[in-house]
Amino acid sequence: MTKRTALGAAAVFLVVAAGVAAFVGAADLNPLATAAALLDKIPFVRLPSSLSPVDRAVLFQIRLPRVAVGALVGGLLALAGAGYQGVFRNPLVDSGMLGASAGAGLGATLAIIYLGGEGPSVVPLAAFIGSLSGVAVAYLTGVAASTRTILGDGVATLLLAGIAVGSFLTAVQTFFLQRSAQVDIQAVYSWLLGSLSAASWQQVTTILPYAAVSSAVILLHGRHLDVLAVGDDEARTLGMRPGLVRGLVVAAAALAAASAVAVSGLIGFVGIVVPHVARRLAGPSYTSVLPLSMLGGAGFLVLADTLARTVLSPAELPIGVVTALVGAPAFVWVLRGTTSVDT
């Protein structure tokens, strides 16, 4: 598939996923009236809709912000994952590695246990800070542990440092968790498994600036990540600075993942499965893998969230469970087709 066809297909997939998500849910909205209400929002289109004020509120204040947050989170996680994979030249790296998920988990856990009285608003901020701190600690650990340039020849050490820091932070989190009250444990677990049930337009506007900056930086480095694929030596003799490229992409991917995690909790598999599918569709060039991952990840998460809130309606499945249930088999399927290539 050419890059253009694949991007078109991914865009259609996202629009279809968003459409499905807008029409399906616990509240039984009249499809025609819903369509009319949605089309009415398009500039210069005027369509009267028979949607009641309550239904209107369900559509515009509950479902649509949830679609928007889902698309943002999915797009950011997949894009961050793809960016990391290019930086480390390793297709198995996920957006949550480098201490990002574990740091967010610890931050959220501490906020829930010790700042629970402050209301839920501190949890996203704590997760955001925790996620970025996790990456920063992993980076500093890598610098201290490696005798080589951490963003150059020693980049594998950065990955190992991330794994070590991740395990450590998770252990700290478990320590606090097992000493805390039952009700907090439940709250922490439901956060850890990920959910978009708190989605609001306010969340969208909060993470949009971070999302815009981080994704712009990552998307602009597709060509550079392709050059990195031939190794640091050759990249340098082609006039590139591998350390600069890695530093920018890692920082942007950390920011993207932290913004996503802040509003959604921990959602696995998106950052690893989606870039793989993108590669299978349009080849290994990051100039196509990055934008494809972003669109595909957005569509995938919107669909996964639609499943999460409808399968056991009116109860909700944690979205992390859905992405892993769909993602794990998909991952095996993708691996079957690519092992010969990646090793």
Q: Which residues bind other proteins (CB under 8 A)?
A: 220, 223, 226-227, 229-231, 233-234, 236-241, 279, 283-285, 287, 341
To other proteins, the closest distance from the beta carbon of 341 in angstroms equals 5
Q: Which is nearer to other proteins, 238 or 315 (CB)?
A: 238
Q: Are 234 and 289 in contact (CB under 8 A)?
A: no
Minimum distance from CB of 170 to other proteins (Å)? 33
Nearer to other proteins, 221 or 309 (CB): 221
**Residue 118 or 233 having the CB closest to other proteins:** 233
Nearest distance from residue 234's CB to other proteins, in Å?
Answer: 7
As to burial, measured by CB atoms within 10 angstroms (0-12 exposed, 13-18 middle, 19+ buried), residue 53 is exposed
Q: Which is nearer to other proteins, 121 or 237 (CB)?
A: 237
User: What is the residue whose two structure tokens read 């080589």?
Assistant: 148
The residue among 144 and 216 lying less far from other proteins, judged by its C-beta, is 216
| Cα–Cα distance, 42 to 315 (Å, whole number) | 33
- State how far the Cα of 315 lies from the Cα of 259, in Å rounded to an integer: 26
Smallest separation, CB 313 to other proteins (Å): 42
User: Which is nearer to other proteins, 30 or 285 (by Cβ)?
Assistant: 285
User: What are the distances in angstroms from CA 322 to CA 116, 198, 223, 234, 256?
Assistant: 27, 17, 33, 42, 21
Burial letters for 289-320: b for 16+ Cβ neighbours within 10 Å, e otherwise?
A: bbbbbbbbbbbbbbbbbbbbbbeeeeebbbbb
CA dihedral 225, 230, 236, 238 (to 10 degrees): -90
The secondary element (H helix, E strand) that includes residue 234 is helix 232-237
CA 111 – CA 98 distance, rounded (Å): 21
Q: Least Å distance between CB 59 and other proteins?
A: 40
CA–CA separation, 220 and 225 (whole Å): 10
Q: Which is nearer to other proteins, 155 or 301 (CB)?
A: 155
Q: Least distance from C-beta 223 to other proteins, angstroms?
A: 6
DSSP string for 98-148 = TTHHHHHHHHHHHHHHHSGGG-TTHHHHHHHHHHHHHHHHHHHHHHHH-SS
How remote is the C-alpha of 73 from its chain's centroid?
A: 5
Q: Could you tell me which residues come within 8 angstroms of residue 136 by beta carbon, excluding any fewer than 6 positions away? A: none
Output the smallest distance, CB 244 to other proteins, in A. Answer: 9
Min separation Cβ 141 and other proteins, Å: 24
Nearer to other proteins, 92 or 230 (CB): 230
